[in-house]
A and B are shown apart, each in its own frame.
Chain A
Amino acid sequence: MSENSNHHVVSPWIYFTILCALLIGTVVTVLAAKIDLGRMNIVLALLIATIKMTLVILFFMHGKYSPKRTQLVIMAGFFWLAIMLGLTLTDYTTRHLDQPSRGATSPAVSIHRA
């Protein structure tokens, strides 16, 4: 058990470095959005956001220095989130695979697939 881990004081320089990384990430995400990368635009945007989130959790929120029990709770949260998103999307993205088109009510779908 690392019971004394709450005594870990993170240096202001680490906080400042993370601040700079987050600001750079924000600029990069805006610049990347202005380039047409097709389907990769959203992938890149989410990748940058996930990196930024990880930095905030590890350093600003002291996840890196937390006891293993707390880290387990954090990871369990994201695991449940992944179940909710993942299983729902497996349904929504495969629901109409057996149909050529969803009809005139939402032509956007056929464009999306083509």
Chain B
Amino acid sequence: MHRTGELYGQYKTLDQQKETATLGMWIFLVTEILFFGGLFLTYTVNRHQFPTAFGVGGNMLDLNLGFANTIVLIASSFTMAMSVWSAQTSKKQFVTIFLILTLILGGVFLGVKVVEYKQKFDHHLIPGHSFDITYCSNNPAACGLSGKDLQDELKEIREGIEAEGGVTGLNAHAQLYFSLYFGMTGLHALHMIVGAGLLLWLILQARKGRFDANYNTPVENIGLYWHFVDIVWIFLFPLLYLINRHLA
């Protein structure tokens, strides 16, 4: 590990060195934009073809948990930005505090995601042999469905079966939706896990007082990564959770 804030031979100034590192980070993020872009494209094409099945699938998600997680992730972007500010103004203790807050919020997000995945597993919504979009409407007690929620669910499944020309068609295309749901949120969660690892490393460095106004490139660049992951979720949330909410 090189000394913090050391000027490498190929640069004239520390500013130029930092700017180069940030530019490199952005170029990496552009590849990430296109990486996730492929998934968003797949989603768009399939939703365009099977709007009803995607709507039925989307309404199976827990809106409250998705909404809460969006708030948590936006808050974590704020604390991340604040840790960059703390480093830039040499408030070394605050760098650590804000990084720890960011890590905690990231952990909460992943924890909620685990709860959601478990729920989908219990409701037979994992793509594969036991996938059954009608499971909850056939076993309302197992899914905690009753009253108006159950009526809405039954109506939606009925309309879905009609639009897809049978329960087989609805299951096939709802399964496509859930494959994309798990693929996209899973890849997003993987980025969060990588981000949590990076944050942990930053916290260890920050505790040694490594980051100040002269040297804060790692905080800044890992911050860029963290904000990028937040942006992906900003699009995933409406696209996956809010497709057909006006029907409910």
Secondary structure dominating the interface of A: helix
The answer, yes or no, to whether B185 is at the interface (CB within 8 Å) is no
Cβ distance B118 to chain A, nearest Cβ, rounded Å = 23
Convert B219-248 into 0s and 1s, putting 1 for each residue whose CB lies closer than 8 angstroms to a CB of A: 010011001101100110111001101111
- Of the listed residues B18, B67, B78, the one surrounded by the most CB atoms of chain A closer than 10 A to its CB is B78
**B1-36 vs A, Cβ < 8 Å mask (1 yes, 0 no):** 000000000000101101100110011011001100
Residues of B within 8 A of A92 (CB): 45, 48
If over half of B's interface residues share one DSSP class (helix, strand or loop), that class is named, otherwise mixed; here it is: helix
Near B by CB (< 8 A), chain A positions 31-88 give 33-37, 41-42, 45-46, 48-49, 52-53, 56-57, 59-62, 66-67, 69-70, 73-74, 76-78, 80-81, 84-85, 88
8 Å CB contact of A85 from B37, B165, B169, B230: B37
- List 10 additional contacts besides A3-B13, A61-B227, A81-B37; criterion CB under 8 Å: A3-B19, A5-B19, A30-B63, A35-B246, A42-B243, A53-B234, A84-B41, A89-B45, A92-B45, A104-B165
- Chain B interface (Cβ < 8 Å from any Cβ of A): 13, 15-16, 18-19, 22-23, 26-27, 29-30, 33-34, 37-38, 40-41, 44-45, 48-53, 63, 67, 70-71, 74-75, 77-78, 80-82, 85, 88-89, 163-165, 169, 173, 220, 223-224, 227-228, 230-231, 234-235, 237-239, 242-243, 245-248
